[in-house]
């Protein structure tokens, strides 16, 4: 199992820069767990007992306000470190992680973290980068929400999803897990209705192809144009 893990773990960015022996040491403390579709890996507000690396599948990370409003913070794909709440100084998870397809993750007890980074500085550096990237993404999202209209934001979101979890199909690029209009709305700060309208319009223009919890980008390039331009109907881009 350790050797199996080692090969799977080979392309986990945060563990890069560690030699085989160190990797073994680290993996010794890990447990591999299966999460069936729609089950939660951890829940917002729960004690942050573990941190994880996703080996297989996709997770949706969502955050809920006291009033019940919800947003999708991000999607986690295989190879990513997640659930590092404790390392960031939190006692509880700030969000909920849900498997959107059957998934498998390695988990470590949070209390092993201080010792691990003491022993393997590369791990700390990796974690810092992971969190740093996440911060960049989130700030970019704030910038988008402040400066772009809904249509552009949706276009950006879909392109990002396609990049992160796109699967080439005959028709274009399909997002590789079930995702509803509601989910897209919660990623872009709008409503289910507006997303539906936008996708319908795009479908008519042959930009995307939709379905129940399914989105295929037929013309990513033209979509990108939409995302960049100020929504100008075409012809007078600057």
Q: Which is nearer to DNA, 79 or 210 (CB)?
A: 210
Residues 67-106 that bind a copy of itself (CB under 8 A): 67, 69, 71, 73, 84, 87-90, 94-95
Cβ atoms of residues 85 and 48 within 8 Å: yes
Q: 66, 89, 211, 235: which one contacts DNA (CB under 7 A)?
A: 211
Contacts with DNA: how many residues (CB under 7 A)? Answer: 22
User: What does the alpha-carbon distance between residue 204 and residue 221 come to, in Å, rounded to a whole number?
Assistant: 16
196 contributes a contact to DNA by CB under 7 A: yes
**205 interface partner picked from a copy of itself, DNA, none, CB below 5 to 8 A per type:** none
Instruction: Give the per-residue contact string, 129-148, with a copy of itself (x = CB under 8 A; - = no).
Output: x-xxxxxx-xx-xxx-xxx-
Assess 19 for contact with a copy of itself (CB under 8 A): no
The pair of structure tokens assigned to 98 is 């849900």
Residue 171 touches a copy of itself, criterion: CB under 8 A: no
Q: Which does residue 128 touch among a copy of itself, DNA, none (CB within 5 to 8 A, set by kind)?
A: a copy of itself
- Nearer Cβ to DNA, position 84 or 198? 198
Q: Which is nearer to DNA, 107 or 190 (CB)?
A: 190
Q: Which is nearer to a copy of itself, 30 or 61 (CB)?
A: 61
Q: Which residue has the tokens 């447990």?
A: 31
Interacting residues toward DNA by CB under 7 A? 149-151, 180-182, 189-194, 196-197, 199-200, 203, 210-214
């Amino acid at each position: 199992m350790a050797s199996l893990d080692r090969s799977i773990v080979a392309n986990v960015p945060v563990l890069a820069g560690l030699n085989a022996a160190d990797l073994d040491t680290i993996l010794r403390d890990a447990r591999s767990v299966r999460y069936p579709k729609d089950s939660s890996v951890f829940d917002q507000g729960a004690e942050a007992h573990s941190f994880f690396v996703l080996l297989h599948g996709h997770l949706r990370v969502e955050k809920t306000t006291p009033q019940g409003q919800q947003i999708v913070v991000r999607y986690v794909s295989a190879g990513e470190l997640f659930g590092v709440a404790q390392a960031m100084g939190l006692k509880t998870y700030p969000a909920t992680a849900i498997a959107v397809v059957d998934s498998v993750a390695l988990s470590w007890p949070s209390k092993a973290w201080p010792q691990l980074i003491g022993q393997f500085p590369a791990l700390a550096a990796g974690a810092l980068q992971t969190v740093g990237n996440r911060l960049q993404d989130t700030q970019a999202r704030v910038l988008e929400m402040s400066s772009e209209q809904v249509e552009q934001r949706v276009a950006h979101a879909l392109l990002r999803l396609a990049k992160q979890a796109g699967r080439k199909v005959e028709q274009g690029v399909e997002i590789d897990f079930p995702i509803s209009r509601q989910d897209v709305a919660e990623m872009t700060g709008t409503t289910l209705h507006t997303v539906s309208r936008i996708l319908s319009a795009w479908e008519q223009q042959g930009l995307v192809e939709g379905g129940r919890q399914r989105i295929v980008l037929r013309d990513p390039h033209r979509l990108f144009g939409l995302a960049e331009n100020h929504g100008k109907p075409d012809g007078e881009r600057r």
